[in-house]
A and B are shown apart, each in its own frame.
Chain A
Amino acid sequence: MSFQPVLLWSDVLLWLLAIAVAGLCAYSSRAEHLRRAWKRLGKNGVATAAATLLCAFLVVGLLDSLHYRLRLPDAPGQTEAVYSVETLSALDGLLTNLRERNEKTYSAPLATRSFVMETEETPAGITRIYPRLNYGGTHLEDDGGQAADVAGRFLTGAGIALLCGCLAAGLVFLWRKRRQGRSDFAWRGVLSALFVVFLVAFTLSELADVYHVFGTDKVGQDVLYQTLKSIRTALVIGLVTTLVMLPLAVVLGIAAGYFRGWTDDVIQYIYTVLNSIPGVLLIAAAVLMMQVIIDTHPQWFSTSVERADLRLIALCVILGVTSWTGLARLLRGETLKLRELDYIQAARAFGVSSARIIARHILPNLMHIVIISLVMDFSALVLAEAVLSYIGIGVDPSMHSFGSMINNARMELSREPAVWWSLAAAFSFMLALVLAANLFADAMRDAFDPRHEG
């Protein structure tokens, strides 16, 4: 075998979550009240567009979560296979071009020459020039044709995108015709979002073939590559954290609301205390402790990626432990209201056990709150990661993330002329991700709000 699959903790969790979400969708198509809510959601064009965009991000993230190590060429006399210390992902494999074509230092988006002047010895003497890049725009004889070339490639990409968009629209049309318009699913949202995704994907891939579309950073790495790698980090932070937070919030929130008395007191004390400690302080302390542990046990990790991954997971756990309080409080309040309702009283009149009342009567009636707050927390967590990385207690420095990109941009912006593209790329991708998540959350809140149920 020419490669060895590597299972990182975050890969496992991310894939499990993706499967869990799929399972949840399957379950909710059976549960009547949830199915109605999903149907309402499906009628909302903004929601379907946002969902399509989120799916595109998810595909990138999942591709980036299939890790492997390549086998090194056999050395003479070697009996066992030796694998590279570098752990790659499926996305890295697809983006080999971007990953390997490193320049010397900064270069502007779509540039053919370096951003920084260099001294060059020519027969005429020593001159200061902007040298041609090692990879960006090398196919051009001289820089003059760059604009025309970029326009041509953009149009080619746009053409392919249009073609794919039409194909998708045609498929949808055929599908609807077969169903004879029995569903009022908002396909226009899906199609328009899909078209935007195609447009971005195809033009980028056309251009990225020969240019650094978003420029390069200080060490000459392609910014587009960094941005794409950051998506996985954001998704892991946003999704895995909820995995930690959800059981805490649901169990403690419902227990506090349902059992009242000392259970309620204890749980309330815990979350009030937790809430009174500044979150950043708590996270910083925990991350630094984690860092010390990681540094003193280098033997635990065979590659640097594994080390960075553990730190990411630790960050998720810490974020989860500090952020369950909001949802728990919400669920406690709602449970307090529900437990007084007649149907709970009726169940108690039959002597139904507390565990069963919680599982059958309370949890299903809280599900809409859980779903809504999960989606809303997702965007908050992605932003939180950016902030934490910015102040240096976020992910491992070797791991790409929106936060670390923005952190680097701090210095770059103070240069003259400013290096703006790292920040711009991270900003626009993060904006797209968070905006899509927020719009989706908004639409979900409307769809799952029980007041809309007839």
Chain B
Amino acid sequence: MTIPNTHPPSTPPTKPLLDARGLALSIHQENAGWIPAVSDLDLTIAAGETFALVGESGCGKSLSALALMRLLPSGVRILRGEVYVQGEEILRLPEAEMRKRRGRDLSMIFQEPATSLNPVLTIGRQIGESLSTHLGERGKVLREHAADLLAQVGINDPIRRLSEYPFQLSGGMKQRVMIAIALASSPRLLIADEPTTALDVTVQSQILDLLQKLQAERGMSLLLITHDLGVVARMADKVGVMYAGQLVECAPRAEFFKTPRHPYSRALFAALPETAHAGERLAALPGQVPAFAAMPKGCRFAGRCGSGDRGQGAEDRARCLGDAPLLEDLGGGVWVRCHFQVSGDSVQVTANNRRVAPNDELPPVTCPLSPETLLEVRDLKIHFPIRKGVLQRVHGHVRAVDGVSLALTPGRTLALVGESGCGKTTVGRSLMRMLPMTAGQVFWQGKPVAPNDKAEAKTLRQSLQMVFQDPYASLNPRMSVGEILLEGMLALSAVSSEQEGRERAVTLLEQVGLKPESLTRYPHEFSGGQRQRVAIARALAVSPRVIICDEPTSALDVSVQAQILNLMKDLQTRLNLAYLFITHNFAVVEYLAEDIAVMYLGRIVESGPTAAVLATPAHPYTQALLSAVPRVEGGRAIIRLAGETPSPANPPNGCHFHPRCRKAQPECRQSYPPPTPVAAGHRVNCFLYREQ
């Protein structure tokens, strides 16, 4: 491997704050030894600038960030390269010197606020640690400074919060505290590694606002690591795209969103569900990111590149496969690592890649599209008792679900949308009879079903299946794929013999796009997307009519998400399935669902056809939620919600949303508004739309 004789992507007139040149990392693997991971990473961040590093999981974004902090885990080491912070090389500094730099020059916040705070120390102690180390503050000065920092990150009543423990704070507050700690010593550069991925959209929007505000106030630089192009569009000045350990494109934001040059960047855009029109297939990238141990010799993206612009000939193909491209300057601050990059002419990015033929190998099953309702739930309530004291007496209820009505029709998808803790997953699980219903009626094809009856549960189970969020947790690592698929069939006696089950399993695997050989393999041999295919096959094994999908793509990368969404759509048309799609991702909803129901604190606040609800959201909560979703196209005024979602153990009186609602009226405190139609099929629970 050679160090390219290229210069850092841009050379601003002043000395950049951070300048990494030719940074290369290698990681240790048990049976392969030290293998190169990140290579030839050139990064320049000017003072006050926001640089967004984008890429799918496993492409080396986080490793690179840790390398800049010199906080690499023991299995990773820096091969070569230089990192200048304010003109000073830091990779060769002694550790004691480097420790002083951390916090003062460079600071970092992590993805999961729940695990980055020490649960046994108070917030004050954790902020104070940084203050006393770097600024030598003690006693009253330190306490006041800490409280001041908490106030800066937007935490109310900072003095009281200082003596609280992390478990007393919500996720968004914890991330604010993390930011306060990172800011305590006034760093010049803040590295934020997926700072909002674990948070809800409304909270994400608050945190992004906060970061922008603080950055403007302090003139701080920000290295933002994310996989979410919407966040990039909102935050970044410059964008760097990483693929398989290399920077493949680096450009100013406007330029990048106008004309992404590298085929990979273009594929990323094409795979976004929000750029596609409903009904159209997503342009999914085939395959997956190559493993570091098996990196191709030529262009690392060559194996998945469907670039149709140039480089189609066999000769060009050979060049891509045999010759590793260098990061080349295209002028205007744009650097691309591709032999056949698109130059100035703006190519219609998505159109080319969208020419994927629908999967017509298997003939569509001709099912009459029956408009009749398959599964209907009316006024579903699920309350969990809170027990206290020696005698475990019931002291109250967590009203996880508090009156939800839904209807599922064959061939259609109903999306159940809401923030975490709103009870959407609980609805799904209780429909699967994994949780007892407290109240409510269930109708299967118009006939009422006894809610907690075991015999009926079994018949219903055959018609109702579930796909889970995390494909890594939903498959037993000790069972082969064949055993996993057979288990359900045998348990519900869907097949008479094991032999028949095996034959059926092979058909299922073909249906979800996996090879029959997979039958004897174990889950760990598959990638995340393939595992999710197995999970879908398992749900299909008993020929259900309804599939409840609990965030089936939120643990997957964008390109893999596109594969899975396409598959789900195909299966729906072929098998005439009804989907209940539980998600917090509006882009996916827009693409996949015909109907949508928005949940807030155990109740549905708005429901209707997806297009209508998304275009003209009626409920103030839906409006706020939609506005908070970061969009690639950007440019939407954000409605900021005050405070946090209240606890379902103690919901507000009247309309649950009124304490946070901008348009709250006195009567909102009195009673819960009934569903009011605003358009055909579009109903909203809000007094604003009362029939006059």
Question: B457 within 8 Å of A by Cβ?
Answer: yes
A94 within 8 A of B: no
Shortest B139–chain A CB gap in Å is 42
Q: Does B169 contact A (CB under 8 A)?
A: no
Do the beta carbons of A342 and B474 come within 8 Å of each other?
Answer: yes
Give the complex CA separation of A334 and B364 in angstroms. Answer: 45
Given the contacts A33-B478, A351-B491, A343 and B473 also touching, CB distance less than 8 Å: yes
Q: Is B468 among interface residues, defined by CB-CB distance under 8 A? A: yes
Additional A-B contacts beyond A351-B457, A364-B476 (15; CB < 8 A): A31-B478, A32-B480, A341-B474, A342-B473, A343-B475, A349-B465, A350-B491, A350-B492, A351-B491, A351-B492, A352-B487, A352-B491, A365-B478, A452-B30, A453-B477
How far, in whole Å, are A353 and B493 apart by their CA atoms in the complex?
Answer: 13
Q: Is B432 an interface residue when CB atoms closer than 8 A count as contact?
A: yes
Residues of A close to B524: CB separation below 8 A: 453-454
* A1 on the B face (CB < 8 A): no
B522 in contact with A33 (CB, 8 Å): yes
B473→A349 contact, CB < 8 A: no
A348 to chain B: which residues have CB within 8 Å? 434
Distance, CA A33 to CA B429, complexed state (A): 31
A341 cross-chain contacts in B, Cβ below 8 A: 473-474
User: B487 and A347: CB pair below 8 A?
Assistant: yes
Q: Give Cα A266–Cα B461 distance, bound, in whole angstroms.
A: 33
25 A-B pairs with CB atoms under 8 Å apart are A33-B478, A33-B522, A342-B473, A343-B474, A343-B475, A343-B476, A345-B429, A345-B434, A346-B466, A346-B468, A346-B474, A346-B488, A349-B434, A350-B461, A350-B488, A350-B542, A351-B458, A351-B491, A352-B488, A356-B491, A360-B479, A361-B476, A365-B476, A365-B477, A450-B477
Q: How far is the CA of A434 from the CA of B575 in the complex (A)?
A: 62
B residues with a Cβ closer than 8 A to A are 30, 429, 432, 434, 457-458, 461, 465-466, 468-470, 473-480, 487-488, 491-492, 522, 524, 535, 538, 542
**Alpha-carbon distance between A13 and B603 when the two chains are bound, in angstroms:** 62
**Which chain A residues in 191-232 approach chain B with CB under 8 Å?**
none
Min CB–CB distance A41 → chain B (angstroms): 13
6 closest cross-chain pairs (CB), A and B:
A342-B474, A350-B488, A364-B478, A342-B468, A352-B491, A350-B491
Assembly CA distance A20 to B161 (angstroms):
59
Contact of A349 with B487 in the complex, beta carbons under 8 Å: no
Find chain B residues with CB under 8 A from A361 CB.
476, 478-479
| Residues of chain A with a CB closer than 8 A to B492's CB | 350-351
Q: Tell me the complex Cα distance, A364–B461, Å.
A: 26
Query: Which secondary structure dominates chain A's binding surface?
Result: helix
Interface residues of A (CB under 8 A from B): 31-33, 341-343, 345-353, 356, 360-361, 364-365, 450, 452-454
Q: In chain A, what residue has the closest Cβ to B541?
A: A350
| Best-surrounded residue of A32, A348, A350, A365 (most CB of chain B within 10 A) | A350
Q: Say yes or no: A350 contacts B487, CB within 8 Å.
A: yes
A33 near B470 with CB under 8 A, answer no
Expressed in whole angstroms, the Cα–Cα distance for A345 and B476 within the complex equals: 11
With a cutoff of 8 Å between Cβ atoms, the chain A residues found around residue B476 in the complex are: 343, 360-361, 364-365
Least CB distance from A371 to B in Å reads 14
Q: Which of B30, B476, B479, B491 has the most CB of A within 10 A?
A: B476
* Residue from A346, A348, A356 whose CB has the most chain B CB atoms within 10 Å: A346
Q: Which residue of A lies closest to B478 (CB)?
A: A364
Contacts of B457 in A (CB 8 A): 351
Residues of A within 8 A of B522 (CB): 32-33
**A349-B465, A453-B524 known; A33 and B491 CB under 8 Å?**
no
* Complex interface: chain A residues within 8 A of B469 (CB): 342
Please indicate the chain B residues that have their CB under 8 angstroms from the CB of A33 in the complex. 477-478, 522
Complex Cα spacing A365 to B542, Å: 25
Cα(A309)–Cα(B444), bound, Å: 67
* Contact of A345 with B468 at beta-carbon distance under 8 Å, contacts A351-B457, A365-B477 already known: yes
Q: Which residues of B contact A346 (CB under 8 A)?
A: 466, 468, 474, 488, 535, 538
The distance in angstroms between the C-alpha atoms of A32 and B483, with both chains bound, is 13
Distance between Cα atoms of A343 and B475 in the complex (Å) = 5
- Cα distance, A350 to B464, chains bound together (Å): 9
Query: What is the CA–CA distance of A450 and B479 in the complex, to the nearest angstrom?
Result: 14
Distance of A253 Cα from B457 Cα, bound (Å): 29
Residue of B nearest to A365 (CB): B478
Which A residues lie within 8 Å of B535 (CB)? 346
By a CB distance below 8 angstroms, the chain A residues around B478 are 31, 33, 361, 364-365
Q: Which residues of A contact B479 (CB under 8 A)?
A: 360-361, 364
| Contact residues in A for B470 (Cβ distance below 8 Å) | 342
Minimum CB–CB distance for B504 against chain A, Å: 14
A328, chain B: closest CB distance, angstroms: 21
Nearest-neighbour CB distance to chain A for B550, whole angstroms, equals 9
Q: Give the CA-CA distance A454 to B522 in the complex, in Å.
A: 11
**Bound state CA distance, A356 and B465, in angstroms?**
19
Which one of B457, B478, B488, B542 has the greatest number of beta carbons of chain A within 10 Å?
Answer: B478
A31 to B483, CA, bound (A): 13
Point out which of B30, B457, B477, B492 has the most chain A C-beta atoms below 10 A from its C-beta.
B477
Give Cα A349 to B465, complex, Å: 7
Complex-state Cα separation, A33 to B483, whole angstroms: 14
Residues of A within 8 Å of B461, CB to CB, are: 349-351
Alpha-carbon distance A347/B476, docked complex (angstroms) = 10
- B-side contacts of A453, CB under 8 Å: 477, 524
What chain B residues lie within 8 Å of A364 (beta carbons)? 476, 478-479
With the chains together, A356 CA to B522 CA distance in Å? 20
Q: How far is the CA of A33 from the CA of B491 in the complex (A)?
A: 24
Closest-by-CB residue of B relative to A361 is B476
Q: Which residues of A contact B475 (CB under 8 A)?
A: 343
Residue among A33, A343, A360, A364 with the most chain B CB within 10 A?
A343
